[in-house]
Structure 1
Amino acid sequence: LRRWRTATFEAMSSRDYRILWLGTTLAFLAFMMSWVAQSVVAFELTGKNGSVGIVSLGMGVASLTIAPFGGAVADRISKRRLLLVGQALAGLNFFVVGLLILADVITIPLLVASTFLLGVVFAFIAPARQAWVGEILPERLVPNGIALTQVAMTGTRIFGPLMAGVLIAWPLFGTGGSYLVMGGLFVLVVATLWRLPNTASRPREGRTGVFADLADGVRHVFARPKLGLLAISFILVVMTGYSYQVVLPGYLENALGRDAKDLGILVSATAVTGLIVTIAIAGAANSRFAWPLMLGGAATLGVSMLILSAAPNFSVAIFAMLLTGAGTGAFQMLNNALVMQESAPEYYGRVMSLTMMAWGVNGLAGLPFGLLADATGERATILVMAIGVIVVTIVTTVVYSGMRARGRVTPGMEPLTEAVAGD
C-alpha cells in the first residue's frame, strides 16, 4: 500500500505543482458545472436536442480552429501570463451569462457566443496548463503529474454536475445563480496563479512564426508512430464516445420519462467511478500496463454505451453511466500521460493542443448527433456512438499490436520505464 501511495502521489512533493493542481481543479470544476447548466438552459428554452447541440457547437468551432495555435503560443510566451488573461476572461464570461439569465434575456445565440468564447479561452489555457506541468516537474515525474491532473479533472466531473444540479434545483440560485458561482470559482483560480513563479518566454533569437511552429508540432506528432496513434485515437474516441452528453437531457425526458434536471445524477455517476479508476491506476501511467489499460478503458466505454442505449429504466441507466465513468477515466488519463511521455519537452504545448482538438471535434459532432436524436430517437443515436467507439478501439488495438510486433519505438526516446530503472 505504501509503494502504491508513493507511486501514485509522487508529483505532489512539488510545491508549485500542488498550487497548479489546485487551480486546475477549480477551473475544471467551473467548466464541468457549465456543461450541465448550458444543456439545461438550452433544452428548457426550446425543448430540442438540436438546440443543445447548437450551443455546444460554439465551443467546438472555437476549440477546433484555435486550439492548434493555442499550443504554439503556449510554447512561445509565459504560461503564467497566458493563464492569468485567459482565466480572467472565462470568469467574466460566466458572470455575464449569469446576469443575462437572471434578467430573463438569455437566448440560444447568446449561449452560443458564450460557449464560443469559452472555447477560445480553453484552446489557450488547457495546453498551457498541461505543458506547465512539464516545466514544473522533473521529466521522470511528468507522466505522474499528468495522471494526477486527470484525477483532479475526473473529480470535478463528480462535484461539478452535482453542484450545478443542486444550485439549478435550488430556487435561490437556479441556472443564473449557478453561472455566478462559476464566475466566482475563476476568481479563486486567478488567485492561485499569483502564488506561482513567472515562466520565461522563448528567446526571440531564432524564434519562428506561429504557423511554422504549428507545422513543426504536427511533424513531430506524426514522426513518432505511437504518438500519432495516440492523438488520432483520442480525437476519434472523444468525438464518438463523449458526445452522449448532447442527447442526455432528451434521453432522460423522452426515453426514461425523467426530468432533464436529473442530468446531474447521471453525469455524477460517471465521475464517481472515473475518480476511483484514475486514482487506482495513476501510478501505472509510466508502466508497461499503460497501453493495455488505456485500450481497456475505451472498450469499457463502448460497452457501457451499448447498455445505455437499451436501458429500460433510470437504475440501469445509472449502472451504464458508472461503467462509462470507469472507461472514460482510464482512457483519457492514460492517453494524456502517454502523449506527454512520447513527446519531446519543447513540443509539450503544441502536442497537447493537437490532442485537445478532440474537444473541438466533439463540439462540432454535437449538432449532427443532436439532429440525429431528434430524427431517430436518443436510443438509436447512443447506439451509433457506441458502435463508433468499439470500431475505433479495435482498429487502434490492431495498429498498436502491429507496432509492437515490428518493434517500433518512438525515435530518439528511451522508454520511461527503462530510464527510471536505470537511475
Structure 2
Amino acid sequence: MARSETARPPTVELDPVVGRPGVHGARSAFRAAGQLRTFESFKSANFRWYFVSMLGVFGAMNSQMIARGVLIYDLTGSFAALGTIALANAVPGLALSLHGGVIADRLPKKQIQQVGNALNALNTMSIVALLMAGVMRWEYMIVNAAIQGVIQALMMPARQSMLPDIVYPRQVMNAVALNNAGMNLSRLMVPAGIGVLMEVADYYWAFIAITGFYLFSTVTLFRVPSRPIEIPPEERTEAQTRAYASAGHGAPRAKSGAGFGDLIEGVKYIGRDQTIRVILVVNFLMVLFSMPYMQMLPGFVKDVLDGGPGLQGLLTSVTGVGSLASALVIASLPSRRRGMIFIVGSLVLGVALIAFSWSTSVAITLPVMLFIGVGQSVRMALSNVLVQAYTEDQYRGRVMSIYMMEMSLVQVGVFGVGVAAEVIGIQWALGLCSAALVALSLATIALVPRMRNLD
C-alpha cells in the first residue's frame, strides 16, 4: 500500500536491543560510547560486530579508490580510461542488481556478504599476481572491474538492507549514520596511508592491503547472527505487526527461492509507492552530478594540482574529516526534516565542487575538501536512511537493489564525463556537473514538496 505524503516512520522511546556481549575491552569502550544518544546503536553487540566488519569493507573501498585510479592513469594518462573502468564496473550492476535484491530478500544476508567479500579478495589478488609478474595492462583492469561489478551487484543489496535486521526500527537512522561514520573514519585514515605506500613501494603492496581488508571483514562478520532479531510488539511498525501476525508464532520467515515474479513484484511496489519513487529519482540525479569527481581525481591531481598518489590520498583523507563530523551530527538528530537536510547537504556539496573544479592550488583545495566531505556525508547517509525508513520490510532488499542500480547508472555518466574531459578539459567537465548539482538542489527545494517535507 502506498504511503501518503505526510507518512512518517513511527518512533517509540524504549530501551534499545542489547545483543550478546562482545570482546572484553572493546565491549566496555563501545558501551561507554553508547551512553550518548549519538552512539545509541553501539549498545547492540550485533551492531558492534557489524560495524567492525564494515570497517574492513570501507578500508578496501577507500584503498581501491586510490590504488586502481592511480594505476590506470599511470598506465594510460587518459580520463576516458578512468571513465571506461567505471563503465566496466557499472554494466553488471545494471544487469544483475535486481537479482541481487531478490537474493537479499530470500537468503541470509550475512552469508551473501561473506561470500562476496571472499570473492573480492580473490579478484584483488589477481591484480597482485599481474603486477608482480610485470605483465599488467590496463585492459586487464577492465576485466577485473567487470568481475567486481558482478560480485557487487549480487552482494550490495544484502549489505545495504541488513541494518534493519540487527537494530530496532527507531534505531535505523542512528545505525546508518554510525555506519556512514565508520566509512568516513576509514576515509580519514586509510587513503593517505595507501597514497604514501604507492609513493614509496611497488603498487602491488596496495592491492595486498586491499585483499587483507576484505578477508578481515569476512572473518569478523561471523560474530553477527544470520537471522534477523525478533522485534518486540512495542517496537514494530504497522507493516511488521502484520507480518508477525501472518507468520503466527515467532518472527516471519522469508520465502525461499528467487524468480522473475519476485522482480516484477518489487518493481510494482516502487511504482505504486510515490514516496519511495521520489526519493530514488531525486537521489539518482544528485549522485549523477556529484560522483564523477571521485573517479576523475587521480587525473585531476596529476594534471591540475601537479601531485601524485600521496596528494590524492591526503585530499581524500581531508574529505573524511568533514564527512565524519557530519555523520556524527546526523546520528544525533531526531527523525524530523530529513528530506530538507538531505537537499541542503547536496546544495553544499555542489557549491564546494564548483570551487574544487576551478582550484589550481593545493592550499585552496584542502579546505574545500572539508566541505565536500560534509555535503557528501549528508547526502549518502540520509538517502540511505530515507529509503530504509519508508520501505516495507518484505520489499527492502529489492528496493535497495534499485538504489544500488542507480549507482551503476551513475557510473555510465562518469564515463561520459571522462570522455568530455578529453575534449573540453577536466576542470570544465567537473565544473558543469557541479553547477548542475546546485541547480538541481534549488529546483528540488522549490518544486518537489514531497521530498523537502519528508521526516
- TM-score, with length taken from structure 1: 0.89
Q: Which segment is superposed worse, 112-121 or 375-384?
A: 112-121
Q: Is 1:85 aligned to 2:133, yes or no?
A: no
| Matched residue, 2:396 | 348
Counterpart for residue 42 of structure 1: 72
Mapping 1:82-231, distance limit 5 Å:
82-171=112-201, 174-199=202-227, 202-204=254-256, 209-231=258-280
- With over 3 angstroms needed to count, the CA separation of the structure-2 counterparts of 1:307 and 1:368, relative to structure 1, is same
Q: SS at 1:197's partner residue? A: coil
The alpha-carbon deviation at position 155 of structure 1 amounts to 2.0
| Structure 2 residue 309 is matched with structure 1 residue 257 | no
**Residues 1:7 and 2:37 aligned together:** yes
Alpha-carbon distance in structure 1 between the residues aligned to 2:190 and 2:33: 31
Equivalent position amino acid for 2:319 in 1: T
What letter matches 1:222 in structure 2? G
The separation in 2 between residues aligned to 1:245 and 1:327, in whole angstroms, is 14
Work out whether residues 55 and 108 of structure 1, in 8 Å CA contact, stay in contact via their aligned partners in 2: no
- 1:322 maps to 2:370: yes
Query: Does residue 447 of structure 2 align to residue 395 of structure 1?
Result: no
Which of the residues 406, 415, 423 maps onto 1:358?
406
Q: 1:30 to 1:68 in 2, by over 3 A?
A: same
Who is 1:419 aligned against? none
Equivalent position of 1:271 in the other structure: 320
CA distance in 2 between counterparts of 1:257 and 1:167 reads: 19
Contact 2:340–2:452, Cα closer than 8 Å, also in 1: no
Q: Could you tell me which residue of structure 1 aligns to residue 379 of structure 2?
A: 331
Q: Distance in 2 between matches of 1:96 and 1:255?
A: 32
| Structure 2: runs of 5+ lacking an equivalent | 1-31, 229-252
Match of 2:358 in 1: 310
Structure 1 residue 253: Cα displacement = 2.6
Identity among equivalent positions (%) equals: 26
**Cα drift, residue 362 of structure 1:** 2.5
Instruction: State the shift of 1:36 in Å.
Output: 0.9
Letter in 1 for 2:255: P
Distance 2:427 2:273 in 1: 39
Give the C-alpha shift of residue 5 in structure 1.
Answer: 6.2
Equivalence for 2:49: 19
Q: Is the 8 A contact 1:38 1:55 kept in 2?
A: no
Cα 1:3–1:253 change in 2 (3 A) is closer
3-state SS, counterpart of residue 193 of structure 1: helix
Partner of 1:418: none
What does residue 56 of structure 1 align with? 86
Measure how far apart 1:210 and its partner are. Answer: 2.9
Aligned match for 2:432, one of 373, 377, 384: 384
Look up the match of 1:30. Answer: 60
Contact 1:98 1:176 in 2 (8 A): yes
- Residues 296-351 of structure 1: CA deviation (Å, up to 9, x unaligned): 11000110111112214111122222111110001110111111111111122111
Which residue type is aligned with residue 39 of structure 2?
Answer: F
Q: 1:412 maps to which residue?
A: none
Partners of 2:192 and 2:310 within 8 A in 1: no
Q: Post-superposition shift, 1:401?
A: 2.0
C-alpha separation between the residues in 2 aligned to 1:158 and 1:404?
30
Q: Which has the higher helix share?
A: 1
Residues 34, 41 of structure 2: 8 Å contact kept: no
Further displaced range: 133-142 or 335-344: 133-142
CA distance in 2, matches of 1:68, 1:319: 39
Q: Which residue does the alignment assign to 1:241?
A: 290
Please give the secondary structure, in 1, of the residue aligned with 2:227.
coil
- Return the letter of the residue paired with 2:108: S
Letter in 2 for 1:80: K
Structure 1: gaps (5+ residues): 410-414, 416-423
Q: Deviations over 1:231-280 (max 9, x none)?
A: 11221111211111232222223223333552112222212101111112
**How big is the shift at 1:369?**
0.8
Taking the aligned partners of 2:279 and 2:402, their CA distance within structure 1 comes to: 11
